[in-house]
Amino acid sequence: MMRTQVGIIGAGPAGLMLSHLLHLEGIESVIIERSEQDHVRSRLRAGVLEQGTIEMMREVGLAERIDRLALEQHALDFRFNNRSHRLDFHEASGGRSAWAYPQHEVVADLMRVREEAGAQILYDSPVSRIEGLEGDRPVIHFESEGKQHALSCDFVAGCDGFRGISRTAIPSHKLALYDRVYPFGWLGILADAPPAIQDITWGCHADGFAMMSIRTPEVTRLYLQCEPDDSPDNWSDDRIWAELHKRLDVDGQPPINEGRITQKGVTAMRSFICEPMRFGRMFLAGDAAHIVPPTGAKGLNSAMADIKVLGRSLVEHYKRNDQRWLDNYSDTCLERMWLVQRFSAGLCTMVHQFPGDSDFQRRMQLAELNYMTGTHEGRAAFAHNFTGLPVHA
Ligand code: APR
């Protein structure tokens, strides 16, 4: 049987970052990943990093490409009532920023340093069973090249995303699950068009939400609120551009730029959190433990926050024989995560149109938007959350 100190399930950003952090401290790990490497590397997902995530990447030796490619963002342009309401979160947070740097670049950076260090990452190897989590030596069972294998470890890190196996390996009576599914989705669009302005732009329109953000100076990422079970086939290019112009263009600002659409897909929206984030010797991190609606760009950043705490907790265990960090891991992460859920769900509710909403609710949304963009206190609260709450690790 194979053996390691920390067995990590999933080679998404959470699993890769954890194995890198542990390696820097001389702690051994093996990552077991269901999909092939090219599939993991090319998945297009989130694109905005908090200040704290950028600092973490820099601290662990991943500054070079970030310094070259990440685009610093200082403001979010909220558009409603046919006007632009620019919220300068850099100023309102006392100098903190957000950064446009796509998740697949984070994954590429982490894969490169892990490969250079000779890491053991087993791709195309789905985990089928985890046993002994309440004992001293849990065992991860997985399949690779048509054969069954087993990995014995001190700890298991469940970094296998929302549809992974690790959370389901916990007896259901030991878990509390909190879930909200939203009655709409996002049609995500990638277009070969320079963004009309550099700021992230949100259209909070009575016909539905829309968003525009810079991916690179030549490529724009765009989103449109759509039906939860919508198909991209329902959205011709002409329909997409017409809706984007209607929801995003306002007086006094340049209209969005059109270009060749290179990708479109529908994302469902949910808020989900599982308590606790630990069972015996297994620790859940990232999407395996929580999901946020993409409004607010907190998915990847929350995964990195968990990993910072988990990395520190395992270092305290191995280096100083101190169990307190591991014992507190779930509470530490959940306390922050509920605040992130509050922010993400609050924004999501503020800017989308819900089926059956009354005119009173629409007016409440506009009042919320006016308070957030038009008062010092509203701007400060948004900026504090958007640029990233502190991580206690
Ligand atoms: N065995 C092995 N690997 C598995 C299994 C399994 N049974 N089930 C899932 N996995 C793998 C998936 O193939 C995937 O590569 O676990 C990985 C989980 O990665 P992500 O879904 O990217 O999750 P995470 O690392 O937590 O990343 C944070 O937050 O909001 C999002 O966009 C954000 O994807 C990002 C995520």
pLDDT tens-place string over residues 339-379: 999 999 999 999 999 999 999 999 999 999 999 999 999 99
Measured in angstroms, how far is the CA atom of residue 279 from the centroid of ligand 1?
A: 19
Residue 44 above 90 pLDDT? no
In this structure, what token pair is assigned to residue 33?
Answer: 């990943």
SS3 at position 201: strand
SS3 at position 333: helix
Give the pTM: 0.96
Q: Looking at residue 44, what DSSP letter applies?
A: -
Residue 337 to residue 344: CA distance in whole angstroms: 10
What integer pLDDT is reported at residue 245 of this predicted model?
98
Name residues contacting ligand 1 (CB within 6 A): 9-15, 32-35, 40, 45-46, 103, 126-127, 159-161, 164-165, 286-287, 299-300, 303
Closest atom, ligand 1, to C-alpha of 287: 26
What integer pLDDT is reported at residue 216 of this predicted model?
87
Closest atom, ligand 1, to C-alpha of 299: 30
Q: Which residue is associated with the tokens 């970030």?
A: 66
Closest atom, ligand 1, to C-alpha of 46: 32
CB atoms under 10 Å from CB of 137, counted, come to 12
Measured in angstroms, how far is the CA atom of residue 380 from the centroid of ligand 1?
A: 33
Are β-strands 120-122 and 29-32 bridged in parallel, bridged antiparallel, or unpaired? parallel
CB atoms under 10 Å from CB of 177, counted, come to 10
In this structure, what token pair is assigned to residue 216?
Answer: 């690179």
Yes or no: say if 16 and 23 are a contact pair by the CB < 8 Å rule: no
In this structure, what token pair is assigned to residue 247?
Answer: 């929801």
Q: What is the mean pLDDT of residues 260-266?
A: 95
Residue 158 to residue 160: CA distance in whole angstroms: 6
Q: What is the mean pLDDT of residues 297-314?
A: 97
Residue 186 to residue 80: CA distance in whole angstroms: 19
